[in-house]
Structure 1
Amino acid sequence: MGVRRSGTTLEPQISEAAALSAAACMFRSLGDPARLAILRHLALGEHRVVDLTAHLGLAQSTVSAHLACLRDCGLVTSRPQGRASMWSLATAPELLDVLAAAERLLATTGDAVALCPAYGEAATQ
């Protein structure tokens, strides 16, 4: 990785391969239906794990594991409130933009993604 001069500051250059790898990692973090459901619910505001488990019908350990993944990816954050933690979106505007763009793309492509032999619904069964 080299250094590129931008105006009067030096910025590290990120290779295209590294940038694409990071993007693929981000999309993998969004690739689980339960994590997407958690993110959509957190778009409504802060929630405790117990609130998310009740809303999503998932086990507490499952929700906690997904929240840890999303936190490690920088998508959610938490703050203590008493003995619980309040979870929220870390970068709400950007994440909501990505989710809205995905919905627009799905509306455009129709069932193509669901029917894809490599990544569609039949491939995940």
Structure 2
Amino acid sequence: MTKQMRDESLIGEQEALAAAACLFHGFSDTSRLTIVQHLSLGEHRVVDLVAHLGLAQSTVSRHLACLLDCGLVTMRPEGRASIYALAHPEATMDLLRGAERLLGLTGDAVTLCPRHGAGVAQ
């Protein structure tokens, strides 16, 4: 393998890791995870999500925009409303089930992490 091929391979790996980090950022907020879990039940309007989740409309809209930008949800207009759905429901639920398995294996280690755990100010 030439140096150029190794360099190109390394750049490709770095780009893939950057994309993965962006994907996980989409899931890095409890409100976004709550929205994703609720959308796993089917399509919803913003007003429905606000009512079901007890979050402010601005909060729901901001998190939906993030999820939309990440390609995790889709939006289609219906009259004056926007209808949101998971873009890839099966893959999203597979990822969340995998996360649950990993959390089960790590026990309290993740939430007790001194850098990113539940007690750390964000």
Fold shared per TM-score above 0.5: yes
Note if 1:51 corresponds to 2:48. Answer: yes
SS at match of 1:71: helix
SS at match of 2:83: strand
Structure having greater relative contact order (Cα 8 Å, sep ≥ 6): 2
Distance in 1 (alpha carbons) for counterparts of 2:118 and 2:25: 16
Greater percentage in strand: 1
Which residue in the other structure is 1:98 paired with?
A: 95
Note if 1:112 corresponds to 2:109. Answer: yes
Which residue in the other structure is 2:71 paired with?
A: 74
SS at match of 2:114: coil
Unpaired runs of 5+ in structure 2? none
**Amino-acid identity (%):** 62
The alignment yields a C-alpha RMSD, in angstroms, of 1.8
Unpaired runs of 5+ in structure 1? 4-12
> What is the number of equivalent residue pairs in this alignment?
116
Distance in 2 (alpha carbons) for counterparts of 1:82 and 1:34: 26
Greater percentage in helix: 2
Q: Which runs of 4+ in 1 moved over 6 A?
A: none
